[in-house]
């Protein structure tokens, strides 16, 4: 009885290494994101994340090379290369999102519902300590007008309730959104305006954003203005506007629940 020898095509080395590199890049990316969360936030601190994405791109390129080699030589490893490509593309989704926001949103890092007279940030000892001594600087009104077209929903919140009630709603909305409330001042006094000073932190990278909310009385109720400013970089990717709109939605929900 003769045995039949079955020869299988070898597995593409490019496919093997593309899978290894894809999983390695996932581990590096996860570790780099963890380091960013644990360290003091800084633009320089994002370097490990950028390095991780270089490895992701290398894994993707190697997966493409594996497909070409498999097509030419008939080697096995299509599944490995496909898995590596899929994993790499999934990791590239956040980077693609950032790229789209960079292109489609104006280069702003400070957004306010009042572009003519933005709320001023507190310079109290508690507020300065929470912001590490930083006070967001005023920016020219012409730059603020960039937000009108990009964020038409970022407008003052007009309420048909007294300023004191609006102040309570603003404070509750800030707390409900998970912001750290630093200090509050009820409406009244010489200016008649109330204020809520807060800090918000991102969910993934935990970058801190400074927020100040101003409550002013009106003849027929009250007006709430909010300003949100990023601490790092000159482009917030639309985060500050999104935060302001989330605050407006929270105030509306609290008004409906009254």
Mean pLDDT of 144-148: 82
Tokens of 120: 């001023």
Among 73, 104, 135, identify where a domain stops. Answer: 104
| Per-residue pLDDT band at 3 (split at 50, 70, 90) | low
Q: Are 151 and 172 part of one and the same domain?
A: yes
Q: What is the mean pLDDT of the chain?
A: 87
**Beta carbons of 114 and 156 less than 8 angstroms apart:** yes
Decide if 186 is inside a domain: yes
The per-residue pLDDT for range 160-205, each reduced to its tens digit, is 999 999 999 999 999 999 999 999 999 977 678 999 999 998 777 7
**Beta carbons of 150 and 236 less than 8 angstroms apart:** no
Q: Are 166 and 46 part of one and the same domain?
A: no
Among 70, 87, 104, identify where a domain stops. Answer: 104
Q: Are 243 and 116 part of one and the same domain?
A: yes
Mean pLDDT of 145-163: 90
Q: Which residues contact 136 (CB under 8 A, 6 or more apart)?
A: 110, 121, 210, 227, 229
Decide if 165 is inside a domain: yes
| Per-residue pLDDT band at 8 (split at 50, 70, 90) | low
Phi and psi of 59, rounded to 5°? -65, -40
Mean pLDDT of 82-100: 93
Give me the number of domains the chain comprises: 2
Phi and psi of 39, rounded to 5°? -90, 170
pTM of the model: 0.81
| Per-residue pLDDT band at 86 (split at 50, 70, 90) | very high
Looking at residue 245, its pLDDT comes to 95
| Per-residue pLDDT band at 7 (split at 50, 70, 90) | very low
**Segments forming the whole domain that contains residue 59:** 13-104
Among 104, 120, 138, identify where a domain stops. Answer: 104
Q: Report strand pairing: 157-159 vs 110-112.
A: unpaired
Looking at residue 5, its pLDDT comes to 43
CATH number, domain with residue 205? 3.30.530.50
Tokens of 196: 């809520």
| Per-residue pLDDT band at 6 (split at 50, 70, 90) | very low
The per-residue pLDDT for range 26-77, each reduced to its tens digit, is 999 999 888 887 776 677 778 888 889 999 999 999 999 988 888 888 778 8
Q: How many CB atoms lie within 10 A of CB 107?
A: 12
Looking at residue 107, its pLDDT comes to 87
224 vs 51, residue with greater confidence:
224
Quick one: DSSP state of residue 167?
H
Looking at residue 203, its pLDDT comes to 76
Mean pLDDT of 96-106: 89
Decide if 3 is inside a domain: no
Decide if 240 is inside a domain: yes
Cα–Cα distance, 209 to 230 (Å, whole number):
5
* % pLDDT > 90, the chain: 48
| Per-residue pLDDT band at 234 (split at 50, 70, 90) | confident
Decide if 6 is inside a domain: no
Q: Are 123 and 195 part of one and the same domain?
A: yes
Looking at residue 235, its pLDDT comes to 87
Looking at residue 37, its pLDDT comes to 77
């Amino acid at each position: 009885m003769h045995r039949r020898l079955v020869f299988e095509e070898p597995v593409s080395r490019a496919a093997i290494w593309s899978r290894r590199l894809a999983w390695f890049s996932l581990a590096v990316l996860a570790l780099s994101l963890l380091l960013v969360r644990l360290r003091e936030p800084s633009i320089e601190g994002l370097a490990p994340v950028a390095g991780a994405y270089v490895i992701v791109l290398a894994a993707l390129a190697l997966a493409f090379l594996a497909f070409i080699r498999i097509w030419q030589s008939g080697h096995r490893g299509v599944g490995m290369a496909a898995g590596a490509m899929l994993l790499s593309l999934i990791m590239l989704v956040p980077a693609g999102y950032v790229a789209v926001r960079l292109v489609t949103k104006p280069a702003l890092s400070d957004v306010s519902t009042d572009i003519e007279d933005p709320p001023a940030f507190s310079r109290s000892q508690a507020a300065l300590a929470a912001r590490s001594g930083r006070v967001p600087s005023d920016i020219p009104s012409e730059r603020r007008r960039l937000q009108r077209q990009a964020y038409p929903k970022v407008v003052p919140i007009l309420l048909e309730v007294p300023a004191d009630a609006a102040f309570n709603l603003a404070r509750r909305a800030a707390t409900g959104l998970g912001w750290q409330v630093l200090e509050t001042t009820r409406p009244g006094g010489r200016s008649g305006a109330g204020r809520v000073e807060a800090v918000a932190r991102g969910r993934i990278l935990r970058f801190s954003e400074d927020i100040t909310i101003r409550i002013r009385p009106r003849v027929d109720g009250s007006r709430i203005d909010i300003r949100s400013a990023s601490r790092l970089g000159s482009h917030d990717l639309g985060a500050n506007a999104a935060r302001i709109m989330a605050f407006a939605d929270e105030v509306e929900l609290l008004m409906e629940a009254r």
